[in-house]
Amino acid sequence: MYFYMYKIETEWYGRDMATAEKLATTTELARDYGRILDDAAKGPVSIPRGKKPDITLIGRDRWQQAEASQQWMMAFSVIVRYGVDRIGGDSGVVLPAEFEWLRAFEPGDLLEFLREFSNAMKDATMGVRPWEEVEDVLYEWHRSAIVLLDKHLTSRLKKARANVR
């Protein structure tokens, strides 16, 4: 049972998702900035500043990861919302211009897209795969939508289907 839970946790959330936050005062920062910067390279170090907003030092790779995560979560939330509505039978859902191409797909295809996109998002969020792979998924589905929207090309593909496997 314990092993099973551990497997679920590592598979779905990754091992190192939670990182302990350290605290340092401004005095400590001034006196021992070398050690604090080394700590910040390993995990977040927060510096309370009284009435001013606190500052958190983090490694550049973690910051980039957080930035990419925020970037793609916005796209993900729009896509999931659209997918759920479309698969649920509502075809009049409003979409931002950059996702209009999703309308080219049938609900069954959309489900496959959501599965592929959410897996890539999960792996990238956990740091298992790079964020470029999320971009790759979107790029390839977008390219496929362009083909689907080209009636002449799809009719040629349809005619050729009998000769291929």
Partner 1 sequence: MESEWKAFALAHPQAAQRTYERLTAEPLVRIARRQFPLKGAATKPFWEYEATAAFRIYYATNSTNMTVIVAARNDVHSGSDVVALIKNRRMNFEIEMRSLRESAHRLEAMESGTISGKGSPKKKEDATMRRPRGPELGRSVLWGSASLG
Determine, following the binding rule CB under 8 A, whether residue 144 of this chain makes contact with partner 1: yes
Determine, following the binding rule CB under 8 A, whether residue 108 of this chain makes contact with partner 1: yes
Taking CB under 8 A as the criterion, the residue among 75, 80, 95, 111 binding partner 1 is: 75
Determine, following the binding rule CB under 8 A, whether residue 94 of this chain makes contact with partner 1: no
How many residues sit close enough to partner 1 to count as binding (CB under 8 A)? Answer: 40
**What distance in Å separates the CA atoms of residue 117 and residue 42, rounded to the nearest whole number?**
30
Q: What is the DSSP letter of 69?
A: H
Determine, following the binding rule CB under 8 A, whether residue 156 of this chain makes contact with partner 1: yes
Q: Which residues contact 75 (CB under 8 A, 6 or more apart)?
A: 99, 138
> Which residue from 154, 133, 163, 149 is spatially nearest to 68, judged by alpha carbons?
133
Other residues' Cβ atoms within 10 Å of the Cβ of residue 124: 21
Cα within 13 Å of Cα(28), Cβ side: 13
Q: Which stretch binds partner 1 (CB under 8 A): 25-33, 45-53, 55-63, 68-76?
A: 68-76
Given the complex with partner 1, which of 17 and 146 has the nearer CB atom? 146
> Which residue from 30, 31, 25 is spatially nearest to 55, judged by alpha carbons?
25
Least Å distance, CB 51 to partner 1, is: 16
Interacting residues toward partner 1 by CB under 8 A = 70-71, 74-75, 96-98, 101, 104-106, 108-109, 112-113, 132-133, 135-136, 138-148, 153-154, 156-158, 160-161, 163-165
